[in-house]
Amino acid sequence: MTPVKNIPRHQKLYEVLRKHISDGLYREGDLLPSENELCHLFGMTRPTVRQALSTLANDGYIKKHQGKGSIVHHLPREIGILSVSGTTSAIGDRNLQTDIIIRPVLIPWPDNFIFPLSEIEKESGCIYMERLRFLEGVPIFYDITHIANMNLPRITSRQFENRSLFMILREHYHIEIKGVEQRIKAIPASLKISRFLNLKKGEPVLHLERKLETNNPVLFLYSSIFCNTEKYSIFGRF
Amino acid sequence: MTPVKNIPRHQKLYEVLRKHISDGLYREGDLLPSENELCHLFGMTRPTVRQALSTLANDGYIKKHQGKGSIVHHLPREIGILSVSGTTSAIGDRNLQTDIIIRPVLIPWPDNFIFPLSEIEKESGCIYMERLRFLEGVPIFYDITHIANMNLPRITSRQFENRSLFMILREHYHIEIKGVEQRIKAIPASLKISRFLNLKKGEPVLHLERKLETNNPVLFLYSSIFCNTEKYSIFGRF
DNA sequence: ATAATTATCTTGTATTTACAAGTTAATTAT
DNA sequence: ATAATTAACTTGTAAATACAAGATAATTAT
């Protein structure tokens, strides 16, 4: 079986431009090459180019202006956890350090799980892990992840330190994140949470419960994230 | 001058389908008519139909499946404040009651405003209002809004009770919301906030700071929202 | 010199056509 | 009857073409 090669051309262009913006090749306020320029730069037609730009605009990388062009948006300096891409890629690998609290282990699903589970998920058991993420030495995220144990061989023995879970899933298991459903609350820190996030018990903590959909229609990732928003905010753009 | 009439066809279709989903004509899990069916139902071509469906999918109303069709998503029962549409339309006018704490008034911009302001905004002064929103009798949102006083005649004398600010801006001033930038934090309730939201002082409150972009490139809405998330969660889908 | 017009750039909308790829149901061979 | 194949759907990708509409710079008329 040959490796995945049939990446659509619009997606390819999207990734190139996205990388250029992330790398700072195009800076905030810059005008991207016009659609027609991109067309014969990359040898594709305008609808294809427009699809790539549309996705970029949707993800908040650019802003389109009729008659003017596509303007590069300033990248969120804050923590872009509201984006689908996963924290590591959004904030940059350099600044976000990840500690593994509990290595991936196989456990039965907890009773009264936060999200309803399908029969297939219940039968396969679940992979559990806990991570703590630091930004400039300050603990920001305490992250509990549940994944159904379906076709993920040897995942319990992989190295997750300073690597995005999304990246590992993508490179080793060809799993892509397709969508997110999430609930956000402000809760008082429990004793456990307060210790991890270096706060006092009862201090406000942002709690996100996320269900991530993948390209495998029966495989979901569930994560419960506790954020210390004392210094940083969660950032989102639409 | 004739009223706005040049609404793009894809947008028209989007609004029709969106309304049908909101009204429950299409229910959760239902398959939308296929793209080709929609084509000759509405007399347009597939790219046009696809653009409408793409926007619907983007807004979380449907989910597209290659080879299968477009499946209607269950509407978020929770408070969809993370969507651009504004709270009133998201949750339905019936359930959300709005109290005006401070009627729209003209004030100078506060010092150290949460968002940086342009010179034009600073010169025009600002319209200020405070609202409290209830869901089933429970106070959920305490909402502080700042708008630059530009071409909004008689806005200080309009009735905002149980009507969406977005609706008034749309119908009377042709202002459409085009994008949102927001920061989310968990903070302890101040005495003032705790009284409005019927909480104890220091209890966790969700704080959203939003900058809303409009179709007028120099006009922004700024709102600072404090949420009681004890009973309800903020919901989002991507 | 200034103002109005025009030309030329940009993105937005829309049609037409063609084929690829995933899903499902009907058909056929075993 | 069951399993494999085929056909008929569905959405996804991609091209070529045309004109509309907003923005900007060059031109022209005053």
Q: Closest nucleotide to residue B67 (Cα to C1')? A: D10
Lowest mean pLDDT among A200-214, B1-15, B108-122, B203-217: B1-15
How far is Cα B217 from Cα A132, in angstroms, rounded to an integer?
Answer: 41
How far is Cα B57 from Cα B63, in angstroms, rounded to an integer?
Answer: 5
Protein-contacted bases of chain D (C-beta within 7 A): 9-18, 21-24
pLDDT at B217: 73
Q: Which residue of A has its CA nearest to B204?
A: A204
In the chain, the amino acid numbered B4 is V
DSSP assignment letter at B120 = H
- Identify the H or E element spanning B233: none
Share of chain A above pLDDT 90, in %: 30
Q: Closest nucleotide to residue B69 (Cα to C1')? A: D10
Taking only the tens place, the pLDDT of each residue in A49-77 is: 999 999 988 877 888 999 999 999 866 54
CB contact under 8 A, A182 and B206: no
CA distance A229 to chain B (A): 5
Q: What is the ipTM of this complex?
A: 0.73
Residue A44 CB in 7 A reach of strand D: yes
Average pLDDT value for residue range B57-61: 82
Residue B9 CB in 7 A reach of strand D: no
> Against a cut of 0.90, is the pTM above it?
no
The residue count for chain A:
238
Lowest mean pLDDT among A22-26, A102-106, B208-212, B218-222: A102-106
Taking only the tens place, the pLDDT of each residue in B62-109 is: 989 999 999 998 665 444 445 444 444 444 444 566 677 777 788 888
Question: Please, are residues A96 and A87 in contact by the beta-carbon 8 Å criterion?
Answer: yes
Chain B contact residues (CB < 8 Å to A)? 47, 58, 63, 78, 82-84, 179-188, 202-207, 209, 227, 229, 233-238
DSSP assignment letter at A112 = T
Q: Given a cut of 80, is residue A236 above it in pLDDT? A: no
What is the count of residue pairs from A and B with beta carbons less than 8 Å apart? Answer: 96
Average pLDDT value for residue range B159-163: 60
Lowest mean pLDDT among A83-97, A177-191, B22-36, B221-235: A83-97
Locate tokens 């010179």: which residue?
A: B119
Residue B179 CB in 7 A reach of strand C: no
3-state secondary structure of B67: coil
Average pLDDT value for residue range B142-158: 79
Taking only the tens place, the pLDDT of each residue in A114-158 is: 888 877 788 788 889 888 888 777 888 898 999 888 777 676 666
CB contact under 8 A, A229 and B203: no
Distance of CA B10 to the CA centre of its chain: 21
Structural tokens at position A99: 């500690």
Mean pLDDT value across chain A: 80
Question: For residue B199, is it left (φ>0), alpha (ψ between -120 and 50) or beta?
Answer: beta
Report the b/e string of A156-166 with b at 16+ CB within 10 A: eeeebeeebbb
pLDDT at B1: 36
